[in-house]
A and B are shown apart, each in its own frame.
Chain A
């Protein structure tokens, strides 16, 4: 038998370091869950306890019974779902057309849209707020959704993917007399379905995690999304560690779950986005 001459320590160093980084990355999440099950006041002691002495649901009961977190959760869910559907409706059609349909001004318009990527969204926020106010869309879900409905990134994502659709496929359908909308529905959409999952995942997570715009548009706490509600809660109940951690769990658990299930699609979108520079 041959002896393995490779030294054992580089493999140990690489995997050991990876394990340390993974612990650092996951520890705050683990601690969040752990503290959320502690009895009120238990986390405020020194040294800080790692695990609850007797797991308790007090913080969660308080959140849903007294702090209205169930309503915030529903708001977030409704908004993220609606944003996802809108984004799919508008961006997929536009992305496909920019890739595969010829029309006057196509290239120039696409360049203009890409140019918009260098403008930070916050520049538009103040006038948009003033525009939405007379329309009755301030303090209204419509106002939160409008900027999310269509976006340059979404169009770009779909366009890059749609470029790979063979023209012959579309031409053949046209020769058979199919209209452009029927071609889109029955040929293009099935081909685009993987990138649609990517776009949906991206939009849902971005909408769920969004903070600054909902904070500006929504002033009535009955309409708050989870991040806005949590931020407001943390300004009022800063001392109540267990309550805050339970709020964080409720906010983060759905997106973490969604990511773990759909991470392949999510990472594809992330890589497409980084090529834009």
Chain B
């Protein structure tokens, strides 16, 4: 009996905080998304009205919302495979028996992950500068004429993707390295005895062995990348021509620039719905193909 009580005392503070400051707000966000909460309601709650689903209806009719969604999907569809490929490549190199100075390389490749996103975005804005940027300078060395990375609507998002890959690849690299450790050495040995080339060993031993890791990594990366915010906030402020407005950037502007908190809550829920859908679809595919 005494232990029954003790357990509660241990979890109560943490669970209360999470309940009060996470679960309650999440439910409140759903309620808020059904109201016209705006700057007038902020001043006086008497101005608050229940509007049903009209926030959602208006959002789905708002071209800027679709634009933000399209930009975010673009970022995910291009950014996630590139990030995962970079992570996997780096992990394979580091895992190789031929690699020297592994501890140093691992730390070096992981360093961008722990750095402050805002500070790195500031640096990359200069690296990507159309006139003084080192990236254009390097490209001019191979005969590419200067690109106005962050000033050209066609290039702004690819530039942000490039930055995101640089910033994040080390994270999944570490997870892949742990995944590679779980593949039994005798499988490689057997493949080698059968005369399989390095490429075939990668295709028939490494990739199937890593399949569960790839599922987890892609799930984490997709849901993470759907939350794109600080990069456009610092590097482009959503521009040029709104080409880098992400869903969260749109939510932030709706909520904390225009104080349309009802609409902003609806945006948050649509993003949550999208993340949930992606997660469920991935899980179903993984189960079907018996990866998990």
Contacts and interface: CB of A to CB of B under 8 A. Distances in A.
Q: Do A and B bind each other?
A: yes
A125 B107 CA distance: 34
Contacts of B272: 119-120, 123
Contact of A104 (B4, B100, B123, B233): B4
Contacts of A51: none
Given A184-B10, A251-B118, A147 B109 contact: no
Interface in B168-214: 170-171, 174-175, 178
B145 interface: no
A48 B137 contact: yes
Contacts of A211: 117-118, 229-230, 233
Interface string B7-49: 1111101110110011111101100100000000000000000
A37 interface: no
A190 interface: no
A91 B14 contact: yes
Contacts of B94: 18
Interface string B232-248: 01100100000000001
Contacts of B276: 118
Interface string A254-277: 011001100100110011001101
B166 A126 contact: no
A17 B93 contact: yes
Contacts of B22: 116, 119, 121, 124, 147
B51 interface: no
B15 A94 contact: yes
A131 B111 CA distance: 37
A227 B119 contact: yes
Taking residues whose C-beta sits less than 8 angstroms from the other chain, chain A's interface range is 35 or more
Taking residues whose C-beta sits less than 8 angstroms from the other chain, chain B's interface range is 35 or more
A150 B18 contact: yes
A106 B268 CA distance: 30
Interface stretch (A39-47, A54-62, A191-199): A39-47
A43 B116 CA distance: 22
B10 A208 contact: no
Contacts of B126: 35, 43, 241, 244-245
A234 B125 contact: yes
A131 to B, nearest CB: 7
Contacts of B275: 118, 120
B54 interface: no
Interface in B230-286: 230, 233-234, 237, 248, 251-252, 255-256, 261, 264-265, 268-269, 271-272, 275-276, 279
Nearest to A146: B21
Contact of B234 (A46, A104, A216, A231): A231
A76 to B, nearest CB: 10
B137 A231 contact: no
Contacts of B11: 93-94, 97-98, 103, 109
Given A21-B93, A120-B275, A123-B269, A29 B32 contact: no
Contacts of A147: 21-22
A125 B229 CA distance: 14
Interface in A1-51: 10-11, 14-15, 17-18, 21-22, 24-26, 28-29, 31-32, 35, 43-48
Contacts of B2: 180
A124 B11 CA distance: 22
12 contacts: A31-B127, A46-B137, A103-B11, A120-B275, A127-B29, A152-B18, A212-B230, A226-B119, A230-B116, A248-B122, A251-B118, A277-B216
Interface of B: 2-11, 13-15, 17-18, 21-26, 28-29, 32, 90, 93-94, 96, 98-101, 104-105, 107-112, 114-120, 122-127, 131-134, 137, 166, 170-171, 174-175, 178, 215-217, 219-220, 223, 226-227, 229-230, 233-234, 237, 248, 251-252, 255-256, 261, 264-265, 268-269, 271-272, 275-276, 279
- Which 8 pairs from chain A and chain B are nearest by CB? A103-B7, A97-B10, A101-B7, A127-B28, A94-B14, A180-B6, A124-B25, A248-B119
